[in-house]
Structure 1
Amino acid sequence: MAVSPPVCDFGWKAPDFTLPGTDDRNWSLGDVAGPNGTLIMFICNHCPYVQSVIDRIVRDAKALQALGIGVAAISSNDPVAYPQDGFDAMKAEAVKHGFTFPYLFDESQFVAKVYDAICTPDFFGFNAALELQYRGRLDASGRQAAGPDVKRELFEAMKQVAETGKGPVDQVASMGCSIKWKAA
């Protein structure tokens, strides 16, 4: 079932974390943060919403990194119920798509909970002070990618954050598969 996160809570401070990456190193928020902002993305390997736009995510992440935006992706899905989202599969996914950003494993699901991540993909765009400025979608894509000329909403919003420290007032929430929580 598709779900959408809430509207952007402007100014909300990014919670710190330290998580293992597919590059076999541990990454903290401070390691990921860029001088002009930070983008934290909750994604996973199996979600059709993510898979339909993974090449666009990689393209926009690389372009944002060139603007001084730090980027990281986090997978928080239960790897027991969804083995295709396990750590070894994440490593393969990062290589397959040429990730230029750390792909982090939130096995305990603690980080997803403190960020209040709802779906994959779920984008959190912060300014240089790590204050939330964007909680919108990548673009108008859904389970299938939108046309090639679709407006790059995430990229444009984060470019604005890099230049001004503020995100756009009008944002359209992302939509995707729910985070696959572990059984209680």
Structure 2
Amino acid sequence: MAVSPPVCDFGWKAPAFTLPGTDGRDWSLDQVRGPKGTLVMFICNHCPYVQSVIDRIVRDARDLQALGIGVAAISANDATEYPADSFDNMRLEAAKHAFPFPYLYDESQSVAKAYGAACTPDFFGFNAGLELQYRGRLDASGRQPAAPGARRELYEAMRQVAATGRGPADQVPSMGCSIKWKAA
């Protein structure tokens, strides 16, 4: 079932985290943070919404890093129920797509809960002060990728954040698979 997160809560502060990465080291929010802003993405390996745009995510992450935006991806899905999202499979996914950003594992799901992550993909774009400025979609893609020339909404919004510290007033929420929460 497709899920959409709420609209951007401008100014909301990024919760701190330290999580293990697929590269074998632990990453904190401060280590990921960029001088012009930070993008924290909640993704996973098995979601068809993520898979339909993973190459675009990698492209946009590289382009944003060149603008001074720090980027990290976090997977918080219950890997017991969804083995495709295990840490070992995350390593394979990061290598397969040559992720230019840390791919972090939120096994306890506490970071996803602190961020209020709702779906995969879910994008949180912060300014240099770690204040939320974008909670929209990558582009017009859904379970299938949008046309090759689709407007790069996430990239354009974060480019604006890098330049001005503010995100666009109009944002279209992301859509994707729900976060696979562990049973209580």
Superposition TM-score tier, normalisation by shorter sequence:
over 0.9
Quote the RMSD (CA, aligned, Å). 0.2
- Secondary structure of the equivalent of 1:58? helix
Superposed displacement of residue 79, structure 1: 0.4
Find out whether 1:40 has 2:40 as its counterpart: yes
Superposed displacement of residue 76, structure 1: 0.2
Within 2, Cα distance between the matches of 1:114 and 1:53? Answer: 25
Find out whether 1:117 has 2:117 as its counterpart: yes
- Secondary structure of the equivalent of 1:133? strand
Count of aligned pairs between the two proteins: 184
**Structure 1 residues without counterparts, runs of 5 or longer:** none
Q: Who is 1:157 aligned against?
A: 157
Superposed displacement of residue 106, structure 1: 0.1
**Structure 2 residues without counterparts, runs of 5 or longer:** none
Superposed displacement of residue 5, structure 1: 0.2
Within 1, Cα distance between the matches of 2:27 and 2:21? Answer: 7
Within 1, Cα distance between the matches of 2:62 and 2:99? Answer: 9
Within 2, Cα distance between the matches of 1:39 and 1:165? Answer: 13
Q: Who is 1:145 aligned against?
A: 145
Superposed displacement of residue 66, structure 1: 0.3
Q: Who is 1:95 aligned against?
A: 95
What TM-score comes out, normalization by structure 2 length?
Answer: 1.00
What CA deviation, in whole Å up to 9, does each residue of 1:92-116 have, x standing for no partner?
0000001000000000000000000
- Secondary structure of the equivalent of 1:162? helix
Question: Where in structure 2 are the equivalents of 1:2-151 lying within 5 Å?
Answer: 2-151=2-151
- Secondary structure of the equivalent of 2:130? coil
- Secondary structure of the equivalent of 1:94? helix
- Secondary structure of the equivalent of 1:173? coil
What TM-score comes out, normalization by structure 1 length?
Answer: 1.00
Superposed displacement of residue 74, structure 1: 0.1
Superposed displacement of residue 12, structure 1: 0.1
- Secondary structure of the equivalent of 1:72? strand
